[in-house]
A and B are shown apart, each in its own frame.
Chain A
Amino acid sequence: MTTIRSLNPTEETTVQKGFLGKWNFNWSQISHYALLIFLSLIILLPIYVIILTSLKRQVVIMSREPVWFFMPTLSNYQEIIENHNFMRHLFSSIYVSLASTILTLFVSSYAAYAIARMKFLGRGLLANTTLLVRMVPPVVLTVPIVSLWGNWEGIWLESAAHGRYLTWVSQTWLCTADSQVADAVCQVFVDGLMDGRIGLILFYSALNLPFVVWLLVGFIQQIPVELEEAAIVDGASPFQVFRQVIAPLLKGGYAVASIFVFRIAWNELILGLILTGRRTYLLPVKANNLIDNAGVQWGLMMAMGTLILIPPLVLTFFSARQIIQGMTAGAVKG
């Protein structure tokens, strides 16, 4: 059985001497590079096209012949930022992505520590179930979200499916007739829950949690037990051991995990489409809504797409090593 735990895929093992340095051409290496460059071009072309198109005027975009050279314009970006509440939706996106990243990391690092280091009844069962729920298709969540969460600022405002679950929670636990909670507080709480972004944070966390737990279990297992034993001998409680010994050593794991959670939350469209309203749209949802009955407003769409691309591109260029580490761990850990 292959194991990848010891493997660092980005580490160059041997670099053949002589190539380029001494100008002795090695055909196998030249074809190697040629193939890599060819594949890179295939991968980069569509990304280049979207950025290029975002700088074109609608007339140029709709021309039958592809136009490669033209006078670039920022009018699409200007339109997006000035007339489409870009800042508000950007805030929504950042808020949801960051909050779900923090929630996921916080919650799953504790669970990962328990699975990696503690023995308890149902540990195996818990481990297996976490792996199974990872495979739940997000589209399956859409219908229950309508029936349980239902935030209808828009089209279905009159629907009676109006957040039954949350209404129930708030009426039963929080805002009962004899409750001590003031009406105003109650209202703030209910409004907060009805704001689909809270729901999104929760759903993105739940969808990512199994993967992150297993990723962190792998990282924790690499930490020598002796450190914890020493801390316990010094009288530290399990929580102190975790916070003061394990958590600081988990930085690498946190970095890998946060890239994956942030990416999913930032890129996701469908749950956002269901859960957010006109005022709280995330960027992908806002972009999707630029497709209307009249067709697609390509210029605006491509500008929006380019803006959505920026954080993932930046992440990729600065943390390719962590991403590959997470991907290979994901394949091996299921």
Chain B
Amino acid sequence: MRTKLIDQQKLVPLLFIMPAIAVLVIGLIIPVGNALYLSFFDWDLGTKWETAEFLAMENYMRMWQDESVRKSLWVTLQYTFATTIIEMIIGIGFALALEKPIRGASLFRTIFILPLMISPLVVGLIWRYMLDGRTGLIPHYVERIGEIIPPLQEIGFIRHAYLADTRLALPAAVGVDIWQWTPFIFIIILAGLQSIPKDVINAAYIDGATWWQMTIMVKLPMIRTLIIVTLLLRLVDVFRALEVLFVMTFGGPAQATEVLSVKIYKTAFAAQNLGYASAISMLLIAITLILSIGILVYNNPVQQEGRA
């Protein structure tokens, strides 16, 4: 009787978590495992699986030597670090500047979360149109400013087709990501700043801390963990990002904005090489996995419970 009771108690948690595990296994684990498996084969889209050739590590060797993968990795790194660092600086800066609660703040917060809620497809579309060299608003007004103040023409205030220029496409893509995601960092850091206990601030104030000292030595250190976690979250998300670039430039011109996700998509569905695309997928997964472990180390909910 007693053993039966214990067995039942062990069974209950299992029943509770089983459906979730089933969804995760079918929807994520099996596909990722399948990608790993396919990465050892030479299999072209549209050919019979039976004709796929087992290559062992050959796809990975090829990836190691592939100039275009290297270029793509380099673009990804530039894109990721540029967006994340600029977004963090602007986001934290504005959060510090606008920290004081004011009337109407909730309306502004609502506006600030809009870019996070709208579809990446729509974001890509809008900016593709606004940056278009012929019809776009931004090239037009940049040109106009250059016409009004001629010296500015020297430093680039002329009509550019930003997304068609190999030097300007990546900075333009970075700008779009900044538009979309800086509010995310702003809102999280703002929430963090406003949760700092008032007595800490008051104590520093009584000790005669200037605004600058207060910021560098009190406020930012108090929300250090939050800053690091937000940074890592952004890094992972930018590494994974695909859709905005997919719609806006599809990796072009040349390879200027071809981040790894776009490279994988193109390898699979334009070059039709499924095996090789899987091998590159593994590279992308490895990078995001390392960053995710970083997040876990800094911010583990399981450990947090223990401490709380």
Task: Give chain A's interface residues, CB within 8 Å of chain B.
Answer: 1-4, 6-7, 9-10, 12-16, 19-20, 29, 32-33, 35-36, 39-40, 42-44, 46-47, 49-50, 53, 61-66, 103-104, 106-108, 110-111, 113-115, 118-120, 123-124, 126-128, 130-148, 156, 158-161, 164, 202-203, 205-207, 209-210, 213-214, 217, 221, 238, 242, 263, 266-270, 284, 287-288, 291, 296, 298, 301-302, 305, 308-309, 312-313, 315-317, 320-321, 323-324, 327-328, 330-334
Contact = CB atoms under 8 A, between A and B. Distances in A.
A136 B43 CA distance: 23
Contact of B236 (A124, A135, A207, A291): A135
Interface stretch (B28-36, B79-87, B148-156): B28-36
Contacts of B101: 12-15
B191 interface: yes
Given A110-B17, A135-B289, A137-B242, A49 B126 contact: yes
A207 B106 CA distance: 30
A136 B32 contact: yes
Dominant SS among interface residues on chain A: helix
Contacts of A47: 114, 118, 126
A127 B12 contact: no
A12 B226 contact: no
Given A111-B17, A120-B13, A145 B31 contact: yes
Interface stretch (B53-61, B63-71, B134-142, B202-210): B134-142
Interface of B: 10, 12-14, 16-17, 19-21, 23-24, 26-32, 34-35, 38, 43, 45-50, 94, 97-98, 100-106, 108-123, 125-130, 134-135, 137, 140-141, 179, 183-184, 187-188, 190-192, 194-196, 222-226, 229-230, 233, 236, 239-240, 242-243, 246-247, 261, 264-265, 268-269, 274, 277-278, 281, 284-285, 288-289, 291-293, 295-296, 299-302, 305, 307-308
Nearest to A237: B12
A207 B28 contact: yes
Contacts of A305: 119, 121-122, 125-126
Nearest to B250: A291
Contacts of B291: 135
Contact of B29 (A133, A267, A313, A315): A133
Given A12-B101, A147-B38, A107 B125 contact: no
A137 B129 contact: no
Contact of A133 (B24, B43, B130, B281): B24
B229 A332 contact: yes
A161 B295 CA distance: 37
Nearest to A19: B103
Contacts of B308: 3
Given A110-B19, A147-B274, A296-B128, A333 B288 contact: no
12 contacts: A42-B179, A43-B115, A43-B183, A46-B123, A47-B118, A107-B23, A127-B301, A141-B31, A209-B20, A221-B305, A270-B242, A312-B117
Given A32-B100, A327-B188, A332-B299, A142 B264 contact: yes
B261 A139 contact: yes
A324 B28 contact: no
B186 to A, nearest CB: 9
Given A65-B140, A207-B28, A140 B192 contact: no
B94, B278, B281: residue with the most chain A Cβ atoms closer than 10 Å = B281
Nearest to A301: B125
Contacts of B125: 50, 287, 301-302, 305
B13 A118 contact: yes
A316 B117 contact: yes
Q: Which 4 A-B pairs have the closest CB atoms?
A: A206-B27, A111-B20, A267-B119, A144-B31
Nearest to A141: B31
Given A16-B102, A137-B261, A291-B247, 12 more contacts: A9-B109, A9-B194, A33-B102, A50-B122, A111-B21, A135-B236, A138-B242, A139-B284, A141-B28, A205-B27, A305-B121, A328-B187
Contacts of B109: 9-10, 320, 324
Contact of B111 (A44, A108, A312, A331): A44
Given A46-B127, A302-B125, A156 B46 contact: yes
A135 B69 CA distance: 21
A238 B284 CA distance: 41
Nearest to A50: B126
A111 B16 contact: yes
Contacts of A221: 305
Contacts of A291: 247
A209, A323, A332: residue with the most chain B Cβ atoms closer than 10 Å = A332
